[in-house]
Structure 1
Amino acid sequence: MTVTTWDEPAGATARGTLIVLPGRGETGASYQRFGTRLAADAYRVRLVPVDLDDLAAAREQVEKLLADESLPAPKVLVGTDSGATLAATIVGEVDADAAVLAGLALPGAAPAPGATWDDELDARSACPVHRSVIEGDAGFERAALGRPLPWSSLEVTAPAKPVLVVHGAADAVSPAAEAVAPYVGAPGARTWLVQGGRHDVLNDVSHRSVAATIVLFLESLKLGPELPAVLVPASGAVDGPA
């Protein structure tokens, strides 16, 4: 299994490790922009391929990375589509500090296998750059969103670890209300909808805002698992030098 890597700039001190679990059809090429951006903020990024027919292999690789003492904490699972579903099911069982779930895939919610490639592109992303990336990726599996998930149902309870959920409000693959419902109001969960966002929410037109939201979550996580705020509204007196 080949793990794709992005590292912090030379001379920077790594601030944590992100273990990316991609979704159906995707390769490392789909996350070059995301990996480069988060690495520039001094987070090490490791992308683990996810074969829906061999989830045990993906989990084994995740556990190896979590046990690798050369990779700095906090260590956070970042899943998209079926990778987000996998992250949601294992985050409480492995030695990860938190999870980011972007565009959760829901059992039974995939589009019909007969959908055209243009339909799939529209469902995935409105970002012209990302669409050109996956159209030019020879390893990208077209029509993969029609593949059934290996889970018959997804039972999610209040997370025991910090979780950030980011979902497209216009996601036609996984309806937003159903996808985020288990997390809304749950202790330790931060849930955001991206206005107009489609399924590949890490690679949609609002990818900059989504990445910034993830960085804020990570920086808060570094302060503690209670996710203390890094930025607060200014009101009244502001603390500072006397």
Structure 2
Amino acid sequence: MTHSGDYHAPDGLRTRGTVIVVPGRGETRATYARFGSRLAYDAYRVRVVDLPAADPAAVAPFLDALARRLSEAVDGIAAEAPDGLPRPLVLVGSDLGAAGLAALLAGPFSATAWWPQAAVLAGLPGQGSRAAGKWEDELDIRTHCPTHRGVLTGDAAVERGALAGAVPQGLLDAAYESAAEIPQLLLVGDADPLADRDVIARAAKSLPRARLTVVRGAHHDVLNDLQHRSVAAEIVTFLEALRNELIPAVTVETSAW
């Protein structure tokens, strides 16, 4: 059984790096088809994996299963590439996927093949945050993008009501206590009712090499809301800067807006 969705750089272009995406609660690989295609168009190799089926309340088994999922993805991409895994390797997580990645990065895994050069954590959930109500209510919390609402509604594999249960506190504690030294981009929507902006800001300030980006008007599914083009551009800018020791290729010298 396959556990991934794959997106390749256009023919004739050299692949500029590898991005592995871990979805959030209730989501599937198809949830990130638009996101994966957009990064691939910019010549990044993208693989979307499934969340492990392990219960995240049992933190250690859940993280072990997630680590195995990442290892399988990295090994698979490396085996198909003529020169091995295209680097830098960047892990992207949303919601529970973001919390899982943050908790993994806090652990003793830096010698593993899946250890990344950077991470993007989107929509980190806050303590006890949950979404009750009908499907339309959950959609309103997730995204106001009509296209993405249609993707979620039309995918029979999407688990409706998945946001009704809070992310386990033990996993959140491990995620927010991370001191991983790799560069990290944290993304949060300023209209995300499941995020704790103060906690995320403190976490970003405590990390050695982190950048916190707040997306105006965005909801919980910050990678797939109305601002998805700007968010993808922010991530590509981060990926490109990563290839140049975090020095951005473009800076603004003067501006009237």
Question: TM-score higher than 0.5 here?
Answer: yes
Amino acid across the alignment from 1:207: H
Amino acid across the alignment from 1:23: G
Amino acid across the alignment from 2:224: N
| Residues 146-165 of structure 1 aligned to structure 2 (within 5 Å) | 146-152=164-170, 153-154=172-173, 155-165=176-186
The count of residues paired between Structure 1 and Structure 2 equals: 231
Alpha-carbon deviation of 1:186? 4.0
Does the 8 A contact of 2:121 with 2:185 survive in 1?
yes
User: What is the match of residue 129 of structure 1?
Assistant: 147
User: What is the match of residue 120 of structure 2?
Assistant: 100
Aligned structure 1 segments of 4 or more residues deviating by more than 4 angstroms? none
The change in CA–CA distance for 1:3 and 1:21 in structure 2 (over 3 A counts) is same
Deviations 1:33-80 (A, max 9, x none): 000000000001111111352533232020233455332010011000
Q: Does 1:65 align with 2:73?
A: yes
Q: Does 1:169 align with 2:190?
A: yes
Deviations 1:126-169 (A, max 9, x none): 10100011010010000001133244242324431100001001
User: What is the match of residue 80 of structure 1?
Assistant: 94
The change in CA–CA distance for 1:156 and 1:185 in structure 2 (over 3 A counts) is closer
User: What is the match of residue 59 of structure 2?
Assistant: none
How far, CA to CA, are the matches of 1:88 and 1:52 in structure 2? 18
Q: Which runs of 5+ in 2 are unaligned?
A: 56-61, 79-83
TM-score scaled by structure 2? 0.84
Q: Which runs of 5+ in 1 are unaligned?
A: 236-242
How far, CA to CA, are the matches of 2:186 and 2:146 in structure 1? 24
Alpha-carbon deviation of 1:228? 1.4
Q: SS where residue 164 of structure 1 aligns? A: strand
Deviations 1:166-223 (A, max 9, x none): 1001101123233332103743111110011100000000000000000000000011
User: What is the match of residue 208 of structure 1?
Assistant: 229
Please tell me the root mean square deviation across aligned C-alpha atoms, in Å. 1.8
Does the 8 A contact of 1:117 with 1:143 survive in 2?
yes
How far, CA to CA, are the matches of 2:146 and 2:221 in structure 1? 13
